[in-house]
Amino acid sequence: MARSRRAPPRLAEVKRADRITPNMLRVTFGGDALTGFPVDAASANIKLLLPHDQQDEAAYIASLQGEGEKPVKRTYTVVEYRSDSNELDIDFALHEHSGPATQFALNAEPGDKVGIAGPSAPKLVDTDADWFLIAGDMTALPAIEANLKQLPQDAIGHVVLEVQHDDDRRAFTLSERVNVQWLINPEPQSGNSKLADIVMALPWLDGTPAIWVAGEASTVRELRSYFAKARQVDRLHRYTSGYWQIGRDEDEFQMVKRQDTDLTN
């Protein structure tokens, strides 16, 4: 059967931008082009299609239609789409060395337009698992939040979250049997994360786990090896994905990621 053609990107409009924690900026998009966006897309990936520096609007709009220079692509996670108000929330983790998407978010004003392609399938754990292990850094927080919202009320497990500042913590409504640990790392691009060490030191629970881990590539690679080899968790019960890599922009990282199965389960 012939594969269906990919849907064209939507030209969304910025409605507002809110700093929800010191290092997380939420941009809410709207516009007629978002009508019909999937309501169950929380945790799924979208591609922001950004203009190049000094590119005029006509050339940018043409690029979204496949003409001329391709737009700058950056991958982000759907926080929520609300069909009643036709609003899509995307969170941007802020850091010292900001790229084109972060700069777009920091400068976003109502009415600004940007192309959005996707979404992919949601990235959610199997809620029928015996217990859960969910971990990641700030780039993974939107998808982690979506996972935590759909955990069973009697869930058992561990959640380990790395953020840049104590005030970047968020409140989650979880079972008392889910242990949440926050790791403060003000310089995530320095390569000094202790996330993998903390996760590997967690007590291993009985039964079949559902594992979800995302964040910086070297941390994800180390944990994927731990789950597969030391704990012998079948890949059907684990999702591990490198979202970014120290020292590489997304274009470079995505090229590496396509060739390295240790970065995505």
Helix (H) or strand (E) holding 200: helix 195-200
Confidence (pLDDT) at 261? 56
Q: Domain ranges for the chain, please list them.
A: 10-117, 131-259
Confidence (pLDDT) at 73? 95
Q: The CATH number of 131-259 is which of 3.90.78.10, 3.40.50.970, 3.40.50.80, 3.30.1490.20? A: 3.40.50.80
Q: CB of 134 within 8 A of CB of 144?
A: yes
- Residue pLDDT tens, the chain, 265 long: 333 456 789 999 999 999 999 999 999 999 999 999 999 999 999 999 999 999 999 999 999 999 999 999 999 999 999 999 999 999 999 987 778 999 999 999 999 999 999 999 999 999 999 999 999 999 999 999 999 999 999 999 999 999 999 999 999 999 999 999 999 999 999 999 999 999 999 999 999 999 999 999 999 999 999 999 999 999 999 999 999 999 877 777 777 766 665 555 6
Confidence (pLDDT) at 1? 36
Confidence (pLDDT) at 263? 55
Confidence (pLDDT) at 213? 98
Confidence (pLDDT) at 3? 37
Class of the CATH-defined domain 10-117: mainly beta
Helix/strand/coil percent split, the chain, to 5: 25, 30, 40
220-249 residue pLDDT tens = 999 999 999 999 999 999 999 999 999 877
Secondary structure of residue 190 in the 3-state scheme? helix
Q: CB of 56 within 8 A of CB of 108?
A: no
Q: Which residues lie below 8 Å from residue 193, measured CB to CB, with a gap of 6+? A: 137, 162, 183, 185, 216, 219
Secondary structure string (H, E, C) spanning 46-109: EEEEECCCCCCHHHHHHHHCCCCCCCEEEEEEEEEEECCCCEEEEEEECCCCCCHHHHHHHCCC
